Amino acid sequence: MLAPLGELLMPGVLLGDMFRSFKGPAGWSKSYVEPDLTTYGVLKDKTAALFVEYDGYWRHAEKEGIVRDKMKNEALLTFSPPGSYVVRINHHNKCDMEETILWISINTWSRGDQKSLTRALSNVLDEMVPRLQHALVPSVHKRLEAHLRTQNPFLVSRSAQEFRETAVVTARGNTTEEILNYLKTKGFGTTCLDQMGKQVLVSGVSIEKTLEPLLHFLLDLGLSMGQVAKALGKCPRLLSYRIDQNLKPTVECLIDLGLTRSEVAKTVASFPAVLFLSIEQNLKPTMQWLLDLGLKKSEAAKAIAIFPQLLALSIDQNLKPTVQCFFDLGLTKSEVAKAVAAFPQTLGYSIQQTLKPHVQWLLDFKLTKGQTAKVVASFPPILGLSIEKNLTPKVQWLLSLGLTRSQVAQAIAEFPPFLGLSSDNLSGKVKLLKSFLTPRGAAELIACSPRILSYRQQRLEHRLSVLAEQGSLAKLAGAMTRTDEVFHRRFVAQKWTNAFHSGASGVFQLRYVC
């Protein structure tokens, strides 16, 4: 796009001299400003520059992209002489016209398709020539108009093609062998290299300009080498994003939302695509939606850290319908907020394939709608448990212990978290209960107090032993809820006190008889 346009604007000038970088003015975020194309001598003011920017990448059409482009316009015009112009070529044209800045919208073109490229270049001239007529040197204006009148205004020259080919080879960067050797010197082992995948290792990226700055950025953020490898393996297009313009602003936004730096590192490691999300269209609106739902800022930040994928969900198409599903079930707004804060993954579940089938499963088990709502509110992870592989087998297991269906339903309604325990965990505790109680007694205890299955086996075994010695196993359900200090004072220390008093009484009686 730019090479043939540069040749037309400044014939006889080496194309390489039109691709420049300038020391950034005060206030510019980087050391240099790099316009796409810089031409001199084409404007009536001989010292003025005509800058051409091609905004073909889709992020230029986003709000923050437009803001950055406007900042660059200002930077270019700050250090350039008076009378300079900026021409911005794009495919969206969402900006108002400005005195020294031309926003030109053209049709898209296909790489490798010479006809579509020449049509796009013709579109540029159609827009630029009449609107810059007052500022162009008459001879330049005449030459450009002549191209417009010809049947085929753009025949890309051999020199432009060679310049393009050289630029592409340069842009391809280092060889695969060079990239591998560089990564090995940085400490990346065979496992990490395998995780990165061929797209990263064979992409021919520049080590100096792309790979090294990106690795430094991710490692400095707090990711381990293994996490960096996985992140690049999942999202090799990270290599195409600019650190200062894309990645750093996203990280800073996440920190502004309330995430700690370590939480941001974990978020990027588990969901590197978060770095591609729009700050204005994804991150900030989702955070505000969570706050409007009733979460505190710290709770909303924690929810994002736990389940960063929710930032990629559409508020209107995903988040709001999911919350409405909870409202329809009978949960209050505060209950929904509490459930989301505790288990934000619920927002990512499909309503038709996950939420409704789980609710129906509970209702089919004869739980009332109110009990079902309470179960979901108090234990939202139940919605992520497989009905076929987890919930139904657990129910069958409880029935095999001797509980009735109504007792199982009551147990689920009273303490649903036990459904999230592994089968081995549950089996070990039931075996322990049966060693102190009869099978029937163990079943009745679970039916009356399903919470008993949630305690650590070591704690359960110790308290069973103490109570068994005192003949107080009937007090097990209540004793398990006590803290270690209270249990020791109530059952262990009391045992020794009783023994002491019993022993002292015996001594007193013996002396009295003597």
Tens digit of each residue's pLDDT (9 = 90 or more) over 361-410? 999 988 999 999 999 999 999 999 999 999 999 999 999 999 999 999 99
Among residues 412, 343, 353, 350, the alpha carbon closest in space to that of 381 is found at 343
What per-residue confidence (pLDDT) applies to 381?
95
CA 101 to chain centroid, in Å, comes to 36
What per-residue confidence (pLDDT) applies to 431?
94
Q: How far is CA 82 from CA 47, 77, 327, in A?
A: 8, 8, 62
166 domain-assigned: yes
What per-residue confidence (pLDDT) applies to 510?
31
Give the lowest-confidence range in 107-121, 205-219, 413-427: 107-121
Residue 136 forms beta bridges with which residues? Answer: 43
What per-residue confidence (pLDDT) applies to 157?
67
Among residues 74, 75, 73, the alpha carbon closest in space to that of 87 is found at 73
User: Is the confidence at residue 256, as pLDDT, over 90?
Assistant: yes
Q: Is 175 helix (H, G, I), strand (E, B) or coil?
A: coil
Give the whole-angstrom CA distance, residue 236 versus residue 375: 42
pLDDT above 90 covers a percentage of the chain that reads 48
Give the lowest-confidence range in 41-55, 162-176, 395-409, 466-480: 162-176
Q: Rounded to the nearest 10 degrees, how much is the dihedral formed by the CA atoms of 246, 251, 252, 254?
A: 130
Q: How far is CA 212 from CA 51, 82, 218, 241, 437, in A?
A: 30, 39, 10, 13, 65
Tokens of 273: 């695509």
The pLDDT of 295-307, averaged and rounded, is: 96
Q: Residue 242: pLDDT band by 50, 70, 90 thresholds?
A: confident
User: Is the confidence at residue 151, as pLDDT, over 70?
Assistant: no
User: Is the confidence at residue 504, as pLDDT, over 50?
Assistant: no
Q: How far is CA 477 from CA 447, 453, 454, 463, 466, in A?
A: 11, 10, 12, 10, 13
101 domain-assigned: yes
Give the chain's mean pLDDT. Answer: 85
Tokens of 386: 């497989």
For residue 338, what is the enclosing H or E element?
A: helix 333-342
154 domain-assigned: yes
Give the lowest-confidence range in 89-93, 262-266, 274-278, 291-295: 89-93
80 domain-assigned: yes
Q: What is the 8-class DSSP label of residue 490?
A: I
What per-residue confidence (pLDDT) applies to 489?
87
388 domain-assigned: no
Among residues 451, 449, 478, the alpha carbon closest in space to that of 463 is found at 478
Q: Residue 508: pLDDT band by 50, 70, 90 thresholds?
A: very low
User: Is the confidence at residue 506, as pLDDT, over 60?
Assistant: no
User: Is the confidence at residue 500, as pLDDT, over 60?
Assistant: no
Tokens of 152: 């085929």
Q: Residue 511: pLDDT band by 50, 70, 90 thresholds?
A: very low
| Residue spans of beta strands (DSSP E) within 91-162 | 101-105
123 or 386, which is more confident: 386
Q: What is the 8-class DSSP label of residue 81?
A: P
Cβ partners under 8 Å of residue 166, min gap 6:
none
Give the lowest-confidence range in 52-66, 203-217, 358-372, 393-407: 52-66
57 domain-assigned: yes
What per-residue confidence (pLDDT) applies to 462?
93
75 or 96, which is more confident: 75
User: Is the confidence at residue 167, as pLDDT, over 80?
Assistant: no
Report angle CA 489, 495, 501 to the nearest 5 degrees.
115
Tokens of 89: 């070529």
- Cβ atoms of residues 244 and 250 within 8 Å: no
189 domain-assigned: no
- For residue 203, count other CB atoms closer than 10 A to its CB: 19
Give the whole-angstrom CA distance, residue 328 versus residue 29: 50
Cβ partners under 8 Å of residue 370, min gap 6:
330
Give the whole-angstrom CA distance, residue 220 versus residue 211: 14
469: left (phi over 0), alpha (psi -120 to 50) or beta: alpha
Q: Say how many domains are in the chain.
A: 1
Q: Which domain holds residue 136?
A: 2-170
470 domain-assigned: no
Q: Residue 512: pLDDT band by 50, 70, 90 thresholds?
A: very low
84 or 94, which is more confident: 84
Give the lowest-confidence range in 128-132, 312-316, 447-451, 458-462: 128-132
